[in-house]
Structure 1
Amino acid sequence: MGVVEGQRVEGTTKSGRTRVVSIDDTTATVLRDHQKAHEAEKVRIGDSWKGSDDTVFTTAWRPDLSHDRHRPAAQAHQAHNETASDPLPVIRLHDLRHIHATLLLLAGVPVHVVAARLGHADPAITLRVYAHVIHSAETAAADIFARTVKDTC
């Protein structure tokens, strides 16, 4: 779901497929708690309720405004951490996607699994986009192999 010219748009992925992405138990709990709060708000507001019953969030997420939501948090963090030499960077929603993929690849998650989570039809796309991360992981793999050989000899 997204917003185009102020209108909510729902649909499939660019490739026309649906995608299921697994989440961890903690995230599932956070979303369930949010749903309970959503239901309580709906009851509180009553007949004036304008939200949808079939979505997790009642307002559309606008990626173009996400940095506006992040900026005050980054500034507050900086104000409370005066010893920090550099301010937190402002991140976009799409940056979170790259962080997600990068961390998974660095943790050793197979490329085809990361590709599926990102919705890449072909893992070769993931390999091209994240080649620098994969190269870094390959270097780490060489170091791990060398240590393993040294420890077993």
Structure 2
Amino acid sequence: MVFAPPKGGTEDDAKDRFVPVGDALAALLTEHMRKHPPVEVTLPWMTKDGEPVTVRLVFTTRERKPLNKNYFNYLWKAALEAIGAITALNDRPVGKGRKWEECRDKMMHALRHLFASEAINEGVDVYTLADLLGHEDPAFTLRRYVHRVTGAVEKARKAIGRRYRVAA
């Protein structure tokens, strides 16, 4: 494993991506870090022979080591199975050969889509959302990440109704 910059925030891609965190989630993360203090981990930068870099990781393995993406995917798929989102194809233990149905559309990147859809659903304008996601073009954000808004027709009806009541 190596450390590398997150998507964005580099010379080639100067746009940072971030998710604003509300007080309730910040409190949960603070509590997690109180119970499980961040762990200092040193890995090479960018390549196996890169300069060693030490950072504090909030989420680690039980052994307090960095999460390998394959191990994380096993844990994620097991969680998806536990909530009934996917089905196991065999009865082997997680991490010991368990296989699941194809679920690329339910992996971690799906949370980015969920965030975008929920942000629009809660009234975040597409320009702000595009900025948060690191997109130069808000139209790309709409095409790629935003899905139908729950109750959109009813929201539009109410918005127009409020506007006409104000004008009357």
Given the two structures, how large is their TM-score scaled by the length of structure 2?
Answer: 0.57
The equivalences for 1:2-151 within 5 A come to 6-11=1-6, 13=8, 15-39=13-37, 50=41, 52-58=54-60, 59-60=66-67, 62=69, 66-77=72-83, 87-89=84-86, 91-130=106-145, 132-133=147-148, 137=152, 139-145=153-159, 147-148=161-162
Q: Identify the structure with the greater helix proportion.
A: 1
**Equivalences, count:** 130
Question: How far apart are the structure 1 equivalents of 2:159 and 2:5?
Answer: 47
Question: How far apart are the structure 1 equivalents of 2:82 and 2:146?
Answer: 35
Unaligned ranges ≥5, structure 2? 43-53, 61-65, 87-102
By how many angstroms is 1:118 displaced?
1.1
CA 132–53 in structure 1, closer or farther in 2 if over 3 Å, else same: closer
SS at match of 2:148: helix
CA 65–114 in structure 1, closer or farther in 2 if over 3 Å, else same: farther
SS at match of 1:54: strand
Unaligned ranges ≥5, structure 1? 1-5, 43-48, 78-86
2:120·2:126 contact (CA, 8 Å) conserved in 1? Answer: yes
User: 2:57 corresponds to which letter in structure 1?
Assistant: T
2:127·2:138 contact (CA, 8 Å) conserved in 1? Answer: yes
1:8·1:60 contact (CA, 8 Å) conserved in 2? Answer: no
CA 109–17 in structure 1, closer or farther in 2 if over 3 Å, else same: closer
User: 1:8 corresponds to which letter in structure 2?
Assistant: F
Question: How far apart are the structure 2 equivalents of 1:88 and 1:118?
Answer: 26
Q: Work out the percentage of aligned pairs sharing the same amino acid.
A: 26
2:117·2:146 contact (CA, 8 Å) conserved in 1? Answer: no
Residue 83 of structure 1 is matched in structure 2 by none
